[in-house]
Structure 1
Amino acid sequence: MHRLRSSSPPYALVVEGHSLVRMDAVSILEGAGFRVLDVATGEEAMRLLDKHGAEFALLFTAVGLSGHYDGFALARKAASDHPHIGIVVASGHHMPAPGDLPDSACFIKKPFSADVVYNHLQRILPDDTKPEPLRSISEPLQG
């Protein structure tokens, strides 16, 4: 992975154990203008974040992950180690309890739609890290 230039679309990391849900999340984020990498486990995500954390603008993770890191633990570790990264945590079974999510993260329920994801991204991402298509998508939502 190379250093991002300001004209390059930002990277998003999708972490989801279910391949069809992961493909859906990747498609939604690509539609928003991100370059997307996807992995199935929290450990794989932490390896990428440890090596290339400065390159990512967004972490999109499920709660239910196999291995040491569930989505809540992954979100807290990512927020601690890489505070510049926007974080979205999604689940259809687990609601966050106090302390589960870092202050900078947001939670969405599965199943999610592109509109729900885009609205959350509008809230959590600074304007300078939003890819151009996401900025364009937001214009009708603000009017």
Structure 2
Amino acid sequence: MKRTLEEISRAHFPNAAATPAQVAAFESRVGWQLDEDLRAFYLHCDGATLFRRRPDANYRILSLAEIERARVCLRGEDDDSMGAASWYTIVYCQDGDYVLVDVASSGGPYPLLDAYHETYPQQLRQIAGSFREFLECALASDNRIYWLEE
């Protein structure tokens, strides 16, 4: 993860690091703990855009303050009919599309899911087994949404 974070700092657009107090406040707010990869990322940078600056970034990793339950973000309702309570937004991919982190398994690593706004919550698919895997694939993508190339 160290090399990946160094690449983000060198070639992309990271935010300033979150403090341990900000991480603790986030975990208290959402009721789950960041896994090892997410904790390392947020203590390195509290969100980032990859390849291009906002608003043109295909990959905008949300800051801790921006992460919210997916069903609230995508459907405006905190109701089980609008998706699992364990799905949270983590990456904004333009046009209302998100990558979600599924925190159902305690401790992680947490899988990441593609959440296309028009088919959410009926159709989701896992696109990475961990945040580390997601970052590695995204950084190797040359700014393409890598899971759409399959």
Q: Confirm or deny a common fold (TM above 0.5).
A: no
Answer 1 or 2: which has greater helix percent.
Answer: 1
Using CA pairs below 8 Å that are at least 6 residues apart, which structure has the higher relative contact order?
1
Q: If the length of structure 2 is used for normalisation, what is the TM-score?
A: 0.32
